[in-house]
Structure 1
Amino acid sequence: MDLKLEVVVLPVSDVDRAKAFYEEAGFRLDVDYVADENYRVVHLTPPGSQASILFGTGVTTAAPGSVQGLHLIVSDIEEAHAELSARGVPMGEIFHDAGGVFHRGTDEARVSGPHPERASYGSFVAFTDPDGNGWVLQEVTTRLPGR
């Protein structure tokens, strides 16, 4: 059985502002559907992704900005950082974890710069959307066996 993550629902306070932000970041607009003043669905897909994001009016009761830890995989963390910065996305600095594995949900043990050996899964950069929903770019160049 295949289980494929298709959509992540993001809580936002201003649908048009969020739509503009994600389009500026390079996400493809798939749907912008308005049923009435109480229901609007905006669906966008990150470049190269099979999974998408969805937000709008009447689609979630979660607080705007409450989604954290969304990861986008990139093959070159420095190139991705530069491209998103050039698109106007406020990016943090590239970092790696002092332990050399994944990263923590806090700034604890963050070391500035990419992983010293540029180990796959080892380099990160974080950014947030205008509501504070948190994203992390993670550099993956080689998948672990079986993944």
Structure 2
Amino acid sequence: MDLKLEVLVLPVSDVDRAKAFYQGVGFRLDADHVTDENYRVVHLTPPGSPCSILIGTGVTTALPGSVRGLHLVVSDIEKARAELVGRGIEVGDIFHDTSEMFHRCTGEARVTGLDPQRRDYCSYASFSDPDGNEWVLQEVPSRASQAES
């Protein structure tokens, strides 16, 4: 049985502001459907991802900005961070975690800079949307060589 993650619902307070932000990050707009003033669905997909996000009005009861730790995997974190900054996105400094695998969302054990061995899953940078939903760039250098194969 396949269980394919297709859509993540993000709670936002201002749909148009969030839509503009995610398009600025580089997400593709797949749909913007309005039924009435109480129901609007905006579907966006990160470049290269099979999983999309859904924002809108009347789509969730979660509090805007309450989502933390969504990971976007990149093959070169320095390049990805620079591209986002160039697009006007406020991205934190690159960091690694002294636990060596997966960072703690608490900020505990964070060290500024790339993982010294540049291992898969060990270097990060984070940014948030206008409501505070947190995204984490996670470097997996081996994905670059897999893509070239």
Instruction: Please give the range of the TM-score, normalised by the shorter of the 2 chains.
Output: over 0.9
Q: Which residue of 1 aligns with 2:74?
A: 74
Q: Which residue of 2 aligns with 1:50?
A: 50
Spell out the pairing of 1:1-147 with structure 2 (5 A cutoff): 1-142=1-142
Question: For 1:55 and 1:99, how far apart are their aligned partners in 2?
Answer: 34
Corresponding letter in the other structure for 1:40: R
Measure how far apart 1:105 and its partner are. 0.9
Measure how far apart 1:141 and its partner are. 2.1
Question: For 1:23 and 1:142, how far apart are their aligned partners in 2?
Answer: 27
Corresponding letter in the other structure for 2:61: T
Measure how far apart 1:99 and its partner are. 2.3
Which structure 1 residue ranges, 5 or more long, are not aligned?
none
Measure how far apart 1:98 and its partner are. 1.3
Question: For 1:142 and 1:86, how far apart are their aligned partners in 2?
Answer: 25
Give 3-state SS (helix, strand or coil) of 2:142's partner.
coil
Q: 1:42-71: CA deviations, max 9, x gaps?
A: 000000000000010000000000111100
Q: Once superposed, what is the RMSD of the aligned Cα atoms?
A: 0.8
Corresponding letter in the other structure for 2:125: V
Q: Which runs of 4+ in 1 moved over 6 A?
A: none
Corresponding letter in the other structure for 2:88: G
Corresponding letter in the other structure for 1:71: H
Decide which structure has greater helix share.
Answer: 2
Question: For 2:135 and 2:10, how far apart are their aligned partners in 1?
Answer: 11
Aligned length: 143
Measure how far apart 1:142 and its partner are. 2.7
Identity of aligned residues (%): 71
Question: For 1:79 and 1:142, how far apart are their aligned partners in 2?
Answer: 15
